[in-house]
Amino acid sequence: MRTVRSLKGVVVLVPALMAVSSAMAGDDDVPTVFTERGSIANTRHNLTQLAIEDPRPGTSAQMDPSRNNYGEVCVYCHTPHGANTRTSAPLWNRTQLDQTYQTYDELGTSTLTQTFTQPGVNSLTCLSCHDGVTAIDSIINMPGSGGYDKSAENQVIEVNHLNDWTNASGVTTGNHAALNESGCIACHTPDGLGATLFAAADNFTLFQIGTDLRNDHPVGVTFPLGNPTDFNTTNIVTNTRGDAFMDANGNSRMDKGEVRFYETGDGPEVECASCHDPHGVESAGAGSDFNPTFLRIANDGSQLCLTCHIK
C-alpha cells in the first residue's frame, strides 16, 4: 500500500499496482469506475462506492464526508426487518416524503390521450433519491443494532437519527447530501466547485430528475391497452395483482428484461421502473454487461421506445 493525500486532504491508502481501468459498460453511459456486470454491487447504485470488481482507489473516501457509509449495498433501499409500511415498495428502507410533483401533462401537449396521476409507488422509490430533495443516506433502519427510527419514515431527512450512525470509514459526517446543487452535484458538475477543486468528479447533473417532471417521459400515466394502432398491445399479460407486462419470451413471468405496467388503482401505468431496473439487467445473458442506464431493454436503435410505441 502507498499513502496519498486526496483532494480534501484526507489521507487514503492506495493498494500498489492496482489497475485503474476505465470500465465503461456501454457507449451511452456516463463513464464509471464500476464494471456494471454481475450485481448491483458493481453499479452506480452501490452507494457505498466500494466496487467489488475494479475499485478505483480513494473513491469511497471522497464520498464519505458527504453521506453515511453504511458499508452495505442493499440497505440504502431495503431492510429485512422494520421496513417502511407507508409505501408498498418491497421491504423499503427509505424515508418517504409527501411530495407533489409537476407532471408531464401540465406541459399541455395536444397529443396526450391517457389519464395522468401523481407518480405511483414504482416511481416514488426512484424519486426518493432522484428528485434531489431527500438525502441519499436517509433510511429508517441502519445496519447493526440501535440505528432504528420508525418515526423517521415520513421525514425528508431526520438528521439526528442519521447522525446516530458511526461511519464505518471512521469519518464522522454531519453532511447528508442529496442529488442537488448543494449536495452531491456541488462536486459532480462541470461548473463551479466541480471544475476547480474536484475536476475528477463525473458530471451527475443529468441524474437529478427533480420535482418538475414536465421534461421527462410521462410516468403515472395509464398504458393505452385499447389502442393497438399506436401502441404495442400484443403479448401483454396481466397478473393477479393487475400489473401488466410485455411477455416477450412467453413464460408468463414478469422478467426483468420485459417492460411492465404497474396497477396503482387506475389501470396499468407506466412508472420509472417500467423502463428501468435499479439493480441492472444483463444485455446478453448471465455474466454479460448490464444495459446502460439501468434499462430493462437497451435503447440501441430506439428498441425500448419501439417496445411500446408503434412508430
* Under rule CB under 6 A, residue 130 binds ligand HEC: yes
Closest CA to 276 of 251, 259, 290, 261: 259
Nearer to ligand HEC, 2 or 309 (CB): 309
The residue among 67 and 161 lying less far from ligand HEC, judged by its C-beta, is 67
Query: Of 171, 219, 244, 281, which lies in the binding site for ligand HEC, with binding defined by CB under 6 A?
Result: 219
Q: Whose Cβ is closer to ligand HEC: residue 24's or residue 166's? A: 24
Residues 33-72 as x/- pattern, contact with ligand HEC by CB under 6 A: xx-----x---xx-x-x------x-xx--xx--xx-----
Among 111, 151, 160, 229, binds ligand HEC (CB under 6 A): 111
CA neighbours closer than 13 Å in the CB half-sphere of residue 7: 19
Number of residues engaging ligand HEC in binding (CB under 6 A): 79
- Per-residue binding string, ligand HEC, 13-32, x by CB under 6 A, is ---------------xxx-x
Residues 258 and 296: beta-carbon distance below 8 Å = yes
Site residues for ligand HEC, 288-307, by CB under 6 A, read: 293-295, 299, 304-305, 307
Contacting ligand HEC within 66-85 (CB under 6 A): 66-67, 73-74, 76-78
Q: How far is the CB of 44 from ligand HEC (least distance, A)?
A: 3
- State the Cα–Cα distance between residues 14 and 22, nearest whole angstrom: 17
Residues in the chain: 311
Among 83, 89, 142, 171, binds ligand HEC (CB under 6 A): 89
Q: Does 270 bind ligand HEC (CB under 6 A)?
A: yes
Is 86 an interacting residue with respect to ligand HEC (CB under 6 A)? no
Of 1, 200, 248, 310, the residue at the interface with ligand HEC (CB under 6 A) is 200
Q: How far is the CB of 36 from ligand HEC (least distance, A)?
A: 7
Taking CB under 6 A as the rule, does residue 124 contact ligand HEC?
A: no
Query: Which residues, 6 or more positions from 52, have their beta carbon under 8 angstroms from its beta carbon?
Result: 39, 41, 42, 46
**Least CB distance to ligand HEC at residue 82 (A):** 16
- Out of 11, 16, 206, 284, point to the residue binding ligand HEC (CB under 6 A): 206
Map the footprint of ligand HEC across residues 131-170, applying CB under 6 A. Answer: 136
Q: Which positions from 227 to 266 touch ligand HEC by CB under 6 A, shown as an x/- string?
A: --------------------------------x-------
Q: Three-state DSSP class for 140? A: coil
Answer left, alpha or beta for residue 116, where phi above 0 means left and psi between -120 and 50 means alpha: beta
- Check: CB of residue 152 under 8 Å from CB of residue 95: yes
Under the binding rule (CB under 6 A), the answer on residue 123 touching ligand HEC is yes
Minimal distance, residue 202 CB to ligand HEC, in Å:
5
Query: Does position 183 bind ligand HEC by CB under 6 A?
Result: yes
